[in-house]
Chain A
Amino acid sequence: DAKTTQPTSMDCAEGRAANLPCNHSTISGNEYVYWYRQIHSQGPQYIIHGLKNNETNEMASLIITEDRKSSTLILPHATLRDTAVYYCIVQYNDYKLSFGAGTTVTVRA
């Protein structure tokens, strides 16, 4: 069962930063926060994950609050190709990913 809460949808202007929130108030101390996205009709794509420190890679940044009860995925310069469903998942080890409904992000020109 999904342990996260995300907004159903959000719009973002092309070229601007997209900030995607995720609440995970019941996260355990050893659980990681993962973000995946799924572009229409494709397989989900791994974006980034973290435990308690902020993380950055070539795709995005992940900001985790100090109490670890919420996080924000930041796409620094959204493009039309970033239009997708974004999933926030918390888990320990890769036994299984529990996908919720995710956030449908629409990037508009």
Chain B
Amino acid sequence: DAGVTQSPTHLIKTRGQHVTLRCSPISGHKSVSWYQQVLGQGPQFIFQYYEKEERGRGNFPDRFSARQFPNYSSELNVNALLLGDSALYLCASSGAAGTSGRGSYEQYFGPGTRLTVT
């Protein structure tokens, strides 16, 4: 079975530009989360989407936005890029949003998109 896929693998943008990153979850998974990982640090939570609704948002500015499509794939958009946005952007999928009362859900991560802002 295919795992979580992300595109593109790498991209280079200049300050002030806009970027769109894409993620396809594991078949059957309805929840997608996005994380940012700056070099040398652990991943930081950005968003979680479940059934096309935003279920959670981390401490990121409004320049970051996301959406989930009917097929459960997702896009992460970042406007007005800053040098500090250079990072590995990770997408993770899981079976549910964690609101059904069941307490444990493992998340499965994609390989990430390496964004470099110059």
**B110 nearest CB across to chain A (Å):** 5
Question: How many A-B contacts if CB must be within 8 Å?
Answer: 76
From residue 46 to 85 of chain A, which have CB atoms closer than 8 A to chain B? 46, 49, 51, 85
Partner pick for B107 among A51, A94, A98, CB 8 A cutoff: A94
| A93 adjacent to B98 (CB under 8 Å) | yes
Chain A residues in 8 Å Cβ range of B105? 93-94
**Known interface pairs A43-B4, A87-B42; A97-B112 also in contact (CB < 8 Å):** no
**A57 nearest CB across to chain B (Å):** 11
> How many chain B residues have a CB neighbour from A under 8 Å?
32
Which label, helix, strand, loop or mixed, suits the secondary structure of the B interface?
A: loop
Partner pick for B45 among A32, A34, A87, A96, CB 8 A cutoff: A96
From residue 20 to 52 of chain B, which have CB atoms closer than 8 A to chain A? 31, 33, 35, 41-45, 48
| A100 adjacent to B97 (CB under 8 Å) | no
Q: Is A101 among interface residues, defined by CB-CB distance under 8 A?
A: yes
**A50 nearest CB across to chain B (Å):** 9
Chain B residues in 8 Å Cβ range of A8? none
| B44 adjacent to A46 (CB under 8 Å) | no
Partner pick for A99 among B4, B43, B111, CB 8 A cutoff: B43
Hey, which bits of chain A sit against chain B, CB under 8 A? 2, 30-32, 34, 41-46, 49, 51, 85, 87, 92-102
Q: Would you give 6 A-B contacts (Cβ < 8 Å), ordered by A?
A: A43-B109, A45-B109, A85-B42, A94-B97, A94-B106, A99-B43
The 7 closest A-B pairs by CB, nearest first: A93-B98, A99-B42, A43-B109, A94-B105, A96-B45, A94-B98, A46-B106
